[in-house]
């Protein structure tokens, strides 16, 4: 029996080394930390990779929420062949499906977020027979106003756009001035010989 056991382990090791033996598992990727201004919409991005072909009729996606400093979780969203937003609770009429199963996207959108939405959102995907693996977590922080970095980026974007428009106008005006100047020089060159011509009747 010991010899058979050793032989079996050797065969398994050889299969694993050759790449024939593969361990299935669901891999989920999220954006980690997300910040949103109170009263605005925010996208909770969740994508996944499955070792099994995607079956749109069997795949199950679930989102849950864990408030700050609490271990209790509550359901936020469920997908199975079609989206099932919550019919009651704090997320009623506040969750919209924004994913694409065949595109391996399980994202949702929270509309008009409130301060009570602060906490951890957990994304879980099952694609039978691939039902085991990690879960994705997003920590949402709802703030009164946008952070300094976001405001700075917005200001830079607006300032860059205005600067680009100003530079474009300067280039256009410069081109027009150059064109007018060249036309004026041409007209002056054409008129000069005419003035120098003498009347043939005058001796």
> How many degrees, rounded to 5, is the angle at CA 46 between CA 139 and CA 134?
80
Q: Kindly indicate whether the domain formed by 23-145 is annotated with CATH number 2.60.40.10.
A: yes
Contact 30, 123 (CB under 8 A): yes
Domain residue ranges in the chain: 23-145, 147-182
How confident is the model at residue 159, as a pLDDT? Answer: 77
Residues whose CB falls within 8 Å of the CB of residue 117, separated by 6 or more in sequence, listed in order: 65, 90, 110, 140, 142
143: its two tokens: 């703030």
Sequence length of the chain is 203
| Beta-ladder partners of 84 | 78
Residue 198 is classified by DSSP as: P
Residues whose CB falls within 8 Å of the CB of residue 96, separated by 6 or more in sequence, listed in order: 85, 108, 109, 111
Which residue positions in the chain have pLDDT lower than 50?
A: 1-23
48: its two tokens: 């996944």
């Amino acid at each position: 029996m010991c010899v058979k056991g050793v032989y079996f382990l050797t065969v398994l090791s050889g299969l694993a080394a050759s790449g024939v033996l593969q361990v299935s598992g669901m891999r989920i990727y999220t954006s980690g930390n997300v910040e949103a201004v109170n009263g605005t919409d925010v996208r909770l991005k969740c994508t996944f990779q499955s070792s099994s072909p995607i079956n749109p009729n069997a795949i199950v996606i679930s989102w849950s929420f864990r408030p700050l400093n609490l271990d209790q979780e509550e359901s936020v969203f469920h997908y199975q062949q079609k989206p099932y937003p919550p019919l009651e609770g704090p997320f009623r009429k506040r969750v919209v499906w924004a994913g694409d199963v065949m595109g391996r996207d399980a994202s949702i959108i929270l509309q008009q977020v409130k301060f009570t939405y602060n906490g951890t959102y957990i994304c879980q995907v099952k694609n039978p027979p691939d039902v085991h693996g990690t879960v994705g977590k997003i920590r949402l922080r709802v703030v009164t106003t946008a952070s300094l970095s976001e405001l700075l980026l917005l200001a830079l974007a607006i300032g860059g756009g205005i600067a680009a428009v100003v530079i474009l106008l300067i280039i256009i005006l410069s081109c027009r001035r150059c064109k007018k100047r060249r036309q004026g020089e041409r007209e002056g060159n054409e008129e000069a010989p005419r003035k120098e011509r003498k009347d043939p009747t005058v001796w």
